Copies of this chain bind each other. A is one copy, B any other.
Amino acid sequence: MSRITVTYRIRAPRDALDGIARGLALEQSVELPDAAVTDPFVRADVMGRVASVRPGTTDVHTAVIELAVATTGDDVAQTLNMLFGNSSLHAHVELADVEFPSAFLSRFPGPRFGIEGLRRRLGIPARPLACAALKPQGLPSTRLAALCHALAANGIDVVKDDHGLADQAYAPFEERVTLCQRAVLRAAQETGRTCVYAPSLVGAPRALAQQARFARDAGVGAVLIAPALIGLPAFHELVATLDIPVIAHPAFGGATRIAPPLLVGKLFRWLGADAVIFPNFGGRFAYDAPTCAAIADYARRPWGSYRPILPVPAGGLTVERVAELVAFYGSDVMLLIGGSLLAAPDLPARTRAFADALAAATACATGA
């Protein structure tokens, strides 16, 4: 009987821990009191079981539950349901980590490109990558495209739509994608270096499929998608239809109830993201350095046959922090600087400073 090992963090008095752990094992499987489960097959092969509890030094403890793989039906939505369906409604429970057995993992293809595929597409084998964002929303497509060109021409490797750019009247999706893709191609002709434009896909499944088709036909080199926003099952299904790398955005992730490294580093990778954006420490979001290190670790560590994927720290980054962040994350990283480039009085100069800082940090890191 194959089992998924699920770790929950539980805020409760120590003496309640054992009961809460037993309750979780039931809630996340049979959803019945223990005594009401009489069928021998269900008891042995379906009911969740407590593998261990680890009391903490404060009122935050850990419970490890083993859930039967058979309960997932090999479906993404149902797997999430088993991991955290009802228990997400318990304010004292956080989904901390998951270990899937390898036979289960092998039924999901994972990232199709990963770090290596993204690097090949950009022609950059080793150094850290530079990413910037098109915003604010409200600008017409022509101005977003001009911005896209300026960023691409001055050393950015990946220019992505702000995740707030959707299919709004002031910059309709198809018009924006056409103009921005044209802008990166023009910049490439001028500079001789590749820049990928990644439009943001957002909507219900039918709209997403249409946007994906349009983006592919326009020849874009990657796309940006927020899995938590469109729904993780819809994300997984959409990824399978794409033949370009997918950068995942954490919007709507609400990641305090699911531990951020698990959601962003592990689950998004499981579902096929090739790069994951997350709020960097010391920026305008509250993730701390160990959380960011854990996200990067989950994104890149060996995991069955799954390709490593690119961590993309973001959220208030500045050019001044490039060296520090390359030292922290290493070379397999893409730094995303958004607002602070766009707010600069001389955007091209500030953009070149970003690219130069990355090159310098790389030279130091490699001793070149």
* Chain A contacts to B: CB under 8 angstroms: 23, 27, 29-33, 35-37, 39, 41-42, 45-47, 70-73, 75-78, 80-82, 84-92, 95, 133, 135-139, 162-164, 166-170, 202-207, 226, 228-234, 236-237, 250-258, 279, 284-287, 338-339, 342-343
Contact = CB atoms under 8 A, between A and B. Distances in A.
A166 B81 contact: yes
Give the copy number. 2
A350 B319 CA distance: 68
Contacts of A234: 204-205, 230-231, 233-234
A205 B250 CA distance: 21
Contacts of A30: 135-138, 164
A32 B226 contact: no
A89 B80 CA distance: 19
B226 A85 contact: yes
Contacts of A206: 237
A90 B33 CA distance: 36
Nearest to A164: B31
Contact of A37 (B76, B133, B136, B167): B136
Given A36-B136, A75-B202, A86-B251, 6 more contacts: A31-B135, A36-B339, A39-B139, A47-B138, A90-B286, A230-B231
Contacts of A338: 31-32
B233 A342 contact: no
A70 B170 CA distance: 8
Kindly name the residue among A32, A82, A258 whose own CB sees the greatest number of chain B CB atoms within 10 A: A32
A294 to B, nearest CB: 15
Contacts of A342: 32, 36
Instruction: Give the interface centre of A91, A229, A286 by most chain B CB atoms within 10 Å.
Output: A229
Q: Which 3 A-B pairs have the closest CB atoms?
A: A231-B231, A46-B138, A88-B254
A71 B31 CA distance: 41
Nearest to A171: B73
B138 A229 contact: no
B137 A205 contact: no
A81 to B, nearest CB: 5
Given A256-B254, A343-B36, A286 B91 contact: yes
B169 A70 contact: yes
A19 B223 CA distance: 33
Contacts of A162: 31
B250 A32 contact: no
Given A85-B164, A88-B254, A168-B70, A32 B204 contact: no
Contacts of A287: 89
A254 B89 contact: yes
Nearest to A172: B73
Most B-side CB within 10 Å, residue of A39, A202, A237, A252: A252
B164 A251 contact: no
